Amino acid sequence: MSDLLFDIQEGIGRITINRPEKRNALNDTVLKGICGAIDQANKDPEIRLITITGAGEKAFSSGGDLQGVQGFDKFGPTGSYFARSMYSDTLKKLSNCMVPIIGIANGDVLAGAMGIFLSCDITVAIESARFGLPEVNVGMFPMMVMSVLFKNIGRKKGMELVLLGEKFSAQDAFAYGILNRVFSKETFHEDVNTFIAQFSNKPGIVTRLGKSAFNAIHSIDPKAIELLQLNLGTVMQTEDFSEGITAFFEKRAPHWKHR
């Protein structure tokens, strides 16, 4: 079974991150699949809306698959998407998509997954979903996520989220302006389908033109995200990065050296 599913039904292109056993952690296959689905939707005028969600009930996505970065410092570059352009390419692809995108948080949205989720035009969540940018707790920093975070939230609250790395509820996410709707667990799927139908019934050519115009004035600055990517690479060369990742896999508190 593929790590990324893309199904087209009645004018809706449905993207599903399909790694429930890994809490839908992001890897190159998932990111390439998202990019491919966006390319297909842009070329197909019959697709009027895109949705992105995760398989299962626990997580939209827990963020990047840290199995790929565990040995970065010890064994040299692993080819992780963190250190390359795959993740930043995906954020740019989402930002410039001509088709409206609805992010559906069926569960937790954490770390790098926040960048994917916040790149969507409209977002909804189940009431039990948790959100967060916990990278700082493992010696990392959500560099590239910041390129979209601060397009969705104010500086003061945004800096609190990235510097503390604490998780927050769907209700808080709604209050921060990250979510359009929060749905109850009992009627989640029914409410999501009803909500989606309101958008998919609009004239596709008009919404494409409107979305393209919006992108022209509000899409990600490519120079900014390239700079953020370079800064992430610098973080990954620090001793605290190596300690944070090692501590995470050893299930212990990190001992920071502050260098």
Q: What is the pLDDT at residue 75? A: 34
What is the chain's mean pLDDT, rounded? 91
pLDDT (0 to 100) of residue 54: 98
Looking at residue 196, what DSSP letter applies? H
- pLDDT at residue 69 tops 60: no
pLDDT value, residue 220: 83
Coil, strand or helix at 105 = strand
CA distance 117 to 91: 10
Does residue 195 register a pLDDT over 80?
A: yes
**pTM, two decimal places:** 0.92
Q: What are the tokens at 180?
A: 């359009």
Does residue 165 have a pLDDT over 50? yes
Nearest residue to 244 via CA among 82, 88, 90, 92:
82
pLDDT number for residue 1: 74
- Are 170 and 109 in contact by the 8 Å Cβ rule? The answer is no
**pLDDT at residue 80 above 60?**
no
What pLDDT does residue 34 have? 98
**Per-residue confidence (pLDDT) for residue 224, from 0 to 100:** 87
Least reliable range by pLDDT among 3-12, 61-70, 205-214: 61-70
Give the C-alpha distances (Å, rounded to integers) separating 101 from 17, 38, 154, 175, 214.
Answer: 15, 10, 22, 21, 13
82 pLDDT above the threshold of 70: no
Q: Does the structure show a pLDDT above 50 at 78?
A: no
CA 87 to each of CA 30, 73, 127: distance values in angstroms, whole numbers, following the listed order: 10, 20, 28
Token readout for 115 is 């960048």
Mean pLDDT of 46-63: 96
CA-nearest of 100, 119, 90, 112 to 13 is 100
Contacts of 55 (CB under 8 A, 6+ apart): 5, 16, 17, 18, 19, 20, 24
Percent of the chain's residues with pLDDT above 90: 81
The band of 219, judged by pLDDT with boundaries at 50, 70 and 90, is confident
Give pLDDT, residue 81. 45
Q: Which amino acid type is present at position 62?
A: S
pLDDT at 233: 86
**pLDDT beyond 60 at 79:** no
Instruction: Return the ∠ at Cα 156 (arms to 158 and 240), rounded to 5°.
Output: 55
Is there a contact between 51 and 7 (Cβ–Cβ < 8 Å)?
A: no
**CA 119 from chain center: how many Å?**
7
Nearest residue to 158 via CA among 173, 137, 139 = 173
Q: Check whether 85 has a pLDDT greater than 90.
A: no
How wide is the angle at C-alpha 232 spanned by C-alphas 229 and 237, nearest 5°? 135
Report domain 4-185's class.
alpha beta
